[in-house]
Amino acid sequence: MPAAKKTFWIETFGCQMNVHDSERVAGTLCAHGFAAVERAEEADLILFNTCSIREKAAQKVFQRLAQFRPLAKEGKQFGVLGCVAQQEGEAIFQRAPHVNLVAGSASYPRLAELIARLEAGEKRVTGLGSAEEAFETELTRRDHPFRAYLTIIEGCDKHCAYCVVPFTRGPERSRASASILAEARQLAAAGYSEVQLLGQNVNSYRDPSPARLSFAELLAAVAEVPGLRRVRFTTSHPRDFHPEIVRVLGEHETLCDHVHLPVQSGSSRVLAAMRRDYTREQYLERIAAIRACRRPLAITTDLIVGFPGESDEDFAATIELLDEVRYAGAFSFKYSPRPNTASGAWPDSVPEAVKAERLMILQRRQQEIQQHDNQSFVGRTLEVMVEGHNPKLGQWIGRASTNRSVNFTGSGLREPAAAALPIFAAPLRPGDYAWVRITKAGANSLVGEQAAAPAAAGRAMWKSR
């Protein structure tokens, strides 16, 4: 009888880059004789893929390690991967002695070897250090059946004063355009209709191959891969968001109607202290160019409140910026001083209570803007990618090209919800595309019912899979 397979369980914190790294780690482990399990208790190897962007995120892994520590007595092994691993290195063994593996993202190409050492009985294995090239692997085990992440650039060269990413992910390394396009074609052939291009700054992409595609040219080339229906990309840095990108967005319908362009602050003074390399005015020029695109694009952003030295006036400038840009969505955070960063050494001068109050004011204002602006969708028909079904509400859950969540009733629902609906298509399945007439709008999602494709829709209604 063959020996029982070793099992692993992985929990992921942080950004999409980490989510995708976990898919690559899982693929590597599966190719080396491991099987994934649903619960930590069932696993021989328990992995945490960690995030260090804010203090709270970094603390989470130590809470988890403490929580699962009793399992170490059962002979289970523990690994800490990702940004906390890279940042804390071997200090993790001191803080959590039951950890057996500490590996930063640059070491994943060597992961099979690191795991083999663990298997051979080494008690403490580390994979730290830096990488010169982007990580290329065929072994990705994607979690999602119709939407795929595709890395185009790793690391970051920007050195914003507050940010750990350049330390945890190393310098920028772009993948060769031919390799990216080959993966995009493979994904389309495997039935994926949506691809999300990933990088800390996707638009800082620099093709290392002789083809020398610019980011805009790469976007256009991926958009033309037959079978791909939606192409997203995140995150874009305002400094490198050139007009050529907007032109390409206007020309390719496959590129989603969405740009995520983190501003961080509406005050040029704070932006200078943050070392963001643009002023409020320059950022607003980028926004004006995006607004001038041939088709409307949703713009979302990230914001930090309470950066060292942020005054009431600086904060007021951020609120004014929200009113001026009218973002479709925003992620906002209280400033958190981080090790190794420039501002980490400065006094954290804005008191916690002020940070909390500013965050609340900002989020409330942003919610009002979304609540108001989303009303303009009522009565319109949007194409939605079906992601799942909420049996409690009797609704499908999907996403519009703008990335807005859409909950809707439609075919494929059990009686009586579906009874009143005309039959537009066979019962829906996750991964399908459906047209939805919007009947109601909230700040964070739209509600509607399945409808016939509008006459003006350039494309036939077809199913992705």
Angle at 226 between CA 223 and CA 229, to 5 degrees: 60
Characterize the bridge pairing of strands 194-198 and 147-151: parallel
The Cα–Cα gap between 258 and 263 comes to 15
What number of chain residues touch ligand SAH (CB under 6 A)? 17
Residue with Cβ nearer ligand SAH (60 or 69) = 60
Minimum distance, C-beta of residue 335 to ligand SF4, in the bound complex (Å): 12
The Cα–Cα gap between 73 and 137 comes to 34
State yes or no: residue 68 binds ligand SAH (CB under 6 A).
Answer: no
State yes or no: residue 401 binds ligand SAH (CB under 6 A).
Answer: no
Residue with Cβ nearer ligand SAH (165 or 223) = 165
State yes or no: residue 103 binds ligand F3S (CB under 6 A).
Answer: no
Minimum distance, C-beta of residue 238 to ligand SAH, in the bound complex (Å): 8
> Is there a contact between 378 and 326 (Cβ–Cβ < 8 Å)?
no
The DSSP bridge partners found for residue 303 are 264, 332
The Cα–Cα gap between 91 and 68 comes to 19
Please state whether the peptide bond connecting residue 7 to the residue before it is cis, i.e. omega within 30 degrees of 0.
no
Quick one: which segment of 29-37, 245-253, 334-342, 407-415 binds ligand SAH (CB under 6 A)? 334-342
Minimum distance, C-beta of residue 114 to ligand SAH, in the bound complex (Å): 27
State yes or no: residue 406 binds ligand SAH (CB under 6 A).
Answer: no
Work out which of 278, 335, 396, 435 binds ligand SAH, going by CB under 6 A. 335
State yes or no: residue 173 binds ligand SAH (CB under 6 A).
Answer: no
Token code pair at residue 73: 């007595």
State yes or no: residue 151 binds ligand SAH (CB under 6 A).
Answer: no
Quick one: which segment of 45-53, 183-191, 282-290, 363-371 binds ligand F3S (CB under 6 A)? 45-53
Question: 51 touches which of ligand SF4, ligand SAH, ligand F3S, none (CB within 5 to 8 A by kind)?
Answer: ligand F3S
State yes or no: residue 350 binds ligand F3S (CB under 6 A).
Answer: no
Residues in region 50-69 near ligand F3S by CB under 6 A: 51-53
Please choose, from the candidates 326, 330, 344, 341, the residue with its C-alpha nearest in 3D space to the C-alpha of residue 287.
Answer: 326
Binding residues for ligand SF4, per CB under 6 A?
156, 158-160, 163, 165-166, 200-201, 237
Minimum distance, C-beta of residue 200 to ligand SF4, in the bound complex (Å): 4
Minimum distance, C-beta of residue 126 to ligand SF4, in the bound complex (Å): 24
Question: 299 touches which of ligand SF4, ligand SAH, ligand F3S, none (CB within 5 to 8 A by kind)?
Answer: none
State yes or no: residue 234 binds ligand F3S (CB under 6 A).
Answer: no
Work out which of 87, 200, 204, 366 binds ligand SAH, going by CB under 6 A. 200
Residues in region 135-174 near ligand F3S by CB under 6 A: 164-165, 168-169
Work out which of 8, 9, 10, 17 binds ligand F3S, going by CB under 6 A. 17
Question: 28 touches which of ligand F3S, ligand SAH, ligand SF4, none (CB within 5 to 8 A by kind)?
Answer: none
Residue with Cβ nearer ligand F3S (151 or 318) = 151
State yes or no: residue 240 binds ligand SAH (CB under 6 A).
Answer: no
Please state whether the peptide bond connecting residue 296 to the residue before it is cis, i.e. omega within 30 degrees of 0.
no
Quick one: which segment of 110-118, 159-167, 310-318, 364-372 binds ligand SAH (CB under 6 A)? 159-167
The Cα–Cα gap between 447 and 405 comes to 9
Question: 302 touches which of ligand SAH, ligand F3S, ligand SF4, none (CB within 5 to 8 A by kind)?
Answer: ligand SAH
Positions touching ligand F3S (CB under 6 A) are: 14-15, 17-18, 51-53, 82-83, 164-165, 168-169
Which residues in this chain contact ligand SAH in the complex, by CB under 6 A? 53-54, 162-163, 165, 200-201, 235, 237, 262, 264, 302, 304, 333, 335-336, 338
